[in-house]
């Protein structure tokens, strides 16, 4: 992939804006509002909206803390990509989802500035994407229990904005823009260009707790506007693997959904 030039095909990426994390975030309400405005404009322009959602022992799938905040809850047509590392591309379908729509520029937002946002933005550049870091669309945690050990959150956000304003990456365009100045463009087909022939399916499997809390079902978020399909259980491949999502369940098998061949 080469630099996108003056007419990029963008995607809006929202990283880890989940209840547990937003609850400890600096300028949480303002950041959610900025991202919500971007999402509204992205949808109006036919730009893909992709959520990266952390899953680990503290953010166990199906729990309230793991869910994306209500002000940004994914809607039909959005894509949710589960992840387990700061880099949203590592071990996930994010790159495949973006390339399937010929995305050339990633508009990066979310939590936390110096961890998942930074790791993902830098990896996007390494994978060949141009990057827009939304200056008021990323945030980090407030750490009252560790004064002096970390940079103040406002300093961390400002520091990373300044780094990306001055970052030079061969063959890439790197910009830092306030949310109000991000332009997704108009007149393009819904959700970017048509997929390449033979490209990967434009879906990701989302694993959630069932209604009883002791079973799991799969939802598919597609890139087709206003369509959300939940496949029957018989169409979902399952596999048994050790559960590492919490100490009390460690070592016990769980059913893990995955893409059907």
Q: What is the pLDDT of residues 215-234, one digit of tens each?
A: 233 333 333 333 333 334 44
Nearest to 105 by CA among 162, 43, 171, 173: 173
pLDDT exceeds cutoff 70 at 183:
yes
Give residue 143's pLDDT: 76
pLDDT exceeds cutoff 60 at 25:
yes
Calculate mean pLDDT across residues 246-250. Answer: 37
Give residue 30's pLDDT: 98
Give residue 133's pLDDT: 98
pLDDT exceeds cutoff 60 at 134:
yes
pLDDT exceeds cutoff 70 at 253:
no
Residues in contact with 94: Cβ distance below 8 Å, sequence separation at least 6, in sequence order: 13, 50, 52, 81, 83, 88
Give residue 139's pLDDT: 97
Give residue 7's pLDDT: 81
Instruction: Point out the least confidently predicted range of 36-45, 150-159, 187-196.
Output: 187-196
Calculate mean pLDDT across residues 158-167. Answer: 96
pLDDT exceeds cutoff 70 at 121:
yes
In degrees and rounded to multiples of 5, residue 192 shows phi and psi of 80, -160
For residues 240 and 139, which has the higher predicted lDDT (pLDDT)? Answer: 139
Burial class of 108 by CB neighbour count within 10 A (0 to 12, 13 to 18, 19+)? buried
In degrees and rounded to multiples of 5, residue 68 shows phi and psi of -70, 140
pLDDT exceeds cutoff 80 at 151:
yes
Distance CA 225, CA 246 (A): 36
Quick one: fold of 10-181? Rossmann fold (3.40.50)
Average pLDDT, the chain: 77
Give residue 4's pLDDT: 59
Give residue 149's pLDDT: 72
Calculate mean pLDDT across residues 176-200. Answer: 61
pLDDT exceeds cutoff 60 at 180:
yes
For residues 237 and 63, which has the higher predicted lDDT (pLDDT)? Answer: 63
Give residue 6's pLDDT: 64
């Amino acid at each position: 992939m080469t630099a996108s030039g003056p007419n990029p095909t963008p995607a809006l990426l929202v990283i880890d804006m989940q209840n547990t994390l937003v609850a400890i975030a600096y300028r949480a309400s303002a950041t959610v509002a900025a991202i919500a405005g971007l999402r509204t404009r992205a949808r109006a322009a036919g730009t893909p909206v992709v959520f990266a959602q952390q899953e680990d022992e503290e953010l166990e799938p199906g729990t309230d803390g793991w869910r994306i905040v209500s002000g940004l809850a994914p809607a039909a047509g959005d894509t949710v990509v589960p992840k387990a590392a700061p880099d949203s591309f590592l071990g996930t379908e994010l790159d495949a989802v973006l390339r399937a729509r010929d995305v050339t520029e990633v508009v990066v937002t979310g939590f936390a500035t110096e961890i998942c946002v930074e790791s993902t933005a830098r990896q996007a550049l390494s994978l060949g994407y141009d990057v827009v870091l939304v200056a008021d669309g990323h945030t980090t945690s407030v750490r009252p229990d560790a004064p002096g050990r970390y940079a103040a959150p406002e300093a961390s956000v400002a520091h990373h904005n300044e780094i990306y304003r001055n970052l030079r990456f061969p063959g890439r365009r790197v910009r830092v823009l306030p949310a109000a100045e991000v332009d997704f463009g108009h007149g393009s087909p819904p959700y970017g260009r048509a997929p390449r022939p033979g490209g990967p399916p434009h879906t990701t499997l989302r694993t959630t707790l069932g209604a009883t809390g002791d079973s799991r079902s799969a939802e598919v978020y597609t890139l087709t506007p206003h369509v959300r399909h939940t496949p029957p259980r018989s169409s979902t491949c399952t596999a048994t693997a050790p559960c590492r999502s919490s100490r009390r369940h460690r070592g016990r098998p769980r059913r893990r959904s995955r893409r059907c061949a």
